[in-house]
Structure 1
Amino acid sequence: MLVLTILKILSVVVIVLIGVAYFTLAERKIMGTIQRRKGPNVVGFQGLLQPLADGLKLFVKESILPSNANKTLFILAPMLTFGLSLIGWVVIPFGESLVLADINVGILYLLAVSALGVYGIILAGWSSNSKYAFLGALRSAAQMVSYEVSIGFILITVVLCSGSFNLSSIVLAQEKVWFCVPHLPMFVLFFISALAETNRHPFDLPEAEAELVSGYNVEYSAMGFALFFLGEYANMLLMSALTAILFLGGWLPLLDIFPFTIIPNSVWFGLKIGGFVVLFIVMRACLPRFRYDQLMSLGWKVFLPFSLGWLILTASVLMSFNWLPN
């Protein structure tokens, strides 16, 4: 039983790491196309082995520890960030009964994991003993905490409609209609909040090259930098998977007719994640970066009141028409 559990965990970890590796390749290829250039095309056929070459390069490079850094926390921070980005996948259902831990509080588990992710970034910025890294860490922590509040209200709205904190139950509650139809504004808000939560363009203020060089990871090299890099992209995939589960019916097919139902459920889920991955990349290629005050104003003055108002409206409608799920 223990061996089977370990094999299941390893299979999910390997799938996520391969997904992260080829997410980076897709990003470089799509951005290259948008900018009218080829992108990686030398290592392997059409550059397909480029992620493996990049990983090998970072693995064999020398790790440099700043002389004034708190070395224990400096080494621990990227490990913490990377570990937290992986353990969130424990509750993600890839298909019906295809989940590592089908717990009844999956939403709360993901909220707890995302809240802990701030600590890795704060530790990295503080332990580096660099003003640029520390400023980047403060920006990132404030940004992540600010947008987690809106994400929390959006999650409660979905929980109200499905009647469960279990992610598999939320997917099954969308058999008749996906939640992106009645809750389209929340769907848009959740995706934008996911961009801010993962420090991605146009909200990549913690890594602003013009002011902060590279943000909280400026002092990291080799595998320390690689773990932050892998953690960031694994978090993007996790937020894409969560968006698909909450608003696009998870593994449920697009239409309940023969040509669509013949495709396996896990493939549908992968296609939906892939669609959000492409959106993440297109946002980076097309949008200018926000100013930091604009970022915080958007989170606190627009997203927070709107998501809270939508939650109250949803609860009122469900109670008025006695539609609350049992």
Structure 2
Amino acid sequence: MLSELPLLAETIVKAVVVLAAFLVLPLAVGQTEHKVMGHMQGRLGPMEAGPHGIAQLVADGIKFAQKEDVVPAAADRWVFRLAPAVALIPYLVALAAIPWSSTWIAADLPAGLLFVLAVSSVGVIGTLMAGWGSGNKYSLLGGMRAAAQLVSYELPLALAAVSVALAAGTLSLGGIVGQWQWWWLLWQLPGAVVFLVAAVAELQRTPFDAPIADGEIVFGPYTEYTGLRFAFFLLAEYAGIVVFSLLFAVLFLGGWGGPWSDVLGPLWTLLKAGLVAVLILWLRVAWPRVREDQLQRLAWLVLLPAALGQVALTGLGVVIWG
């Protein structure tokens, strides 16, 4: 029993650190979005909550906590109530398997890439549960749209990640960073573009937010949600940005690689992921929403062939230089 105490203590510490990162980083992304969009669009936005409005996200959280938790009379109550947790928790689990450095990782899995991709795809079940459980035709239609979108973009996303794993010869995220070379920036560039576009679509962010477009379908599967349950869906979106930005940094930007990586490794990972997150936020400001048919056409006729071509190119390179 005593011999298990150090392992138990280490597990508890890792769980607390992952939970703290999960609570802080999505909020930081949300606050950054407020300010980045404000400056890009030439407007101040909320400025009263803290210096320069830096506490606005906290104020929003307090506002959501004060709102009444309404469950529609026609809703499937258990499905309706569980949907926000099903949408949010998979990103917490995925975050535990993403390495920040060679030593900063909560769960170093031999097939970490496969694990993260599988777990992050579970969020679509939460969206489907929200659409079905709300008992609202707009919510159901939005849920079906979201499911079709996420299924369509899951394949090019996975193929782009597989290309990097093929180049590295391992499914371990730490192993991929260990094998990464600077010239992969060019070799894997098409896959990186496919991965980024597919990740934005997976998160239902602009320009791929047709399932929740208020001008078309009220707010899709989230129409009937209020209070903290609605806030959890927003938090899940920001948590998804954090997870996919970190995964992009590990796969395509060399993770913690950089000067003095032994000491500054986690900082390099955070910096690279932060740049990717800002790029995702910028897309919301710069690009108009695409129609549902355009969205599906992009997935099946552009991204999927490009991802398959990247896998073929990587396989050819591995045969020639491997």
TM-score, length-normalised on structure 2? 0.94
* Residue 219, structure 1, aligned to residue 261, structure 2: no
**Aligned-pair CA distance for 1:41:** 1.6
Question: 1-side partners of 2:172 and 2:195: how far apart?
Answer: 18
**Aligned-pair CA distance for 1:59:** 1.6
* Contact kept? 1:178, 1:247, Cα under 8 Å: no
* Contact kept? 2:165, 2:171, Cα under 8 Å: yes
Q: What aligned pairs does 1:56-71 form with structure 2 within 5 A after superposition? A: 56-71=62-77
Question: 2-side partners of 1:129 and 1:150: how far apart?
Answer: 32
Aligned to 1:12: 18
**Aligned-pair CA distance for 1:266:** 0.7
Question: 1-side partners of 2:278 and 2:64: how far apart?
Answer: 25
Aligned to 2:4: none
**Aligned-pair CA distance for 1:89:** 0.5
Give the alignment partner of residue 211 of structure 2, picking from 206, 212, 215: 206
Q: What aligned pairs does 1:1-326 form with structure 2 within 5 A after superposition? A: 1-174=7-180, 176-177=181-182, 179-253=184-258, 256=259, 264-319=264-319, 321=320, 323=322
* Contact kept? 1:178, 1:248, Cα under 8 Å: no
Q: Flag the 1:262–1:82 CA change in 2: closer, same or farther, 3 A.
A: closer
Q: Flag the 1:5–1:261 CA change in 2: closer, same or farther, 3 A.
A: closer
Question: 2-side partners of 1:79 and 1:167: how far apart?
Answer: 26
SS of match in other structure, 1:91: coil
**Aligned-pair CA distance for 1:261:** 5.5
**Aligned-pair CA distance for 1:76:** 0.6
Aligned to 2:3: none
**Aligned-partner residue type, residue 105 of structure 2:** V
Bigger shift: 157-166 or 109-118?
109-118
SS of match in other structure, 1:313: helix
Question: 1-side partners of 2:21 and 2:47: how far apart?
Answer: 24
Return structure 1 stretches of 4+ with deviation > 3 angstroms. 260-263
| Structure 2: gaps (5+ residues) | 1-6
| Structure 1: gaps (5+ residues) | none
Count of matched residue positions in the alignment of Structure 1 and Structure 2: 316
Structural RMSD (CA): 1.4
* Contact kept? 2:161, 2:191, Cα under 8 Å: no
**Aligned-pair CA distance for 1:178:** 5.4
Question: 2-side partners of 1:160 and 1:62: how far apart?
Answer: 50
* Contact kept? 1:240, 1:277, Cα under 8 Å: yes
SS of match in other structure, 1:203: coil
**Aligned-partner residue type, residue 62 of structure 2:** L
**Aligned-pair CA distance for 1:7:** 2.6
Bigger shift: 128-137 or 47-56?
47-56
Question: 2-side partners of 1:270 and 1:104: how far apart?
Answer: 23
The percentage of counterpart residues that share the same residue type is 39
Question: 2-side partners of 1:41 and 1:179: how far apart?
Answer: 43
SS of match in other structure, 2:139: helix
SS of match in other structure, 1:303: helix
TM-score, length-normalised on structure 1? 0.93
**Aligned-partner residue type, residue 109 of structure 1:** F
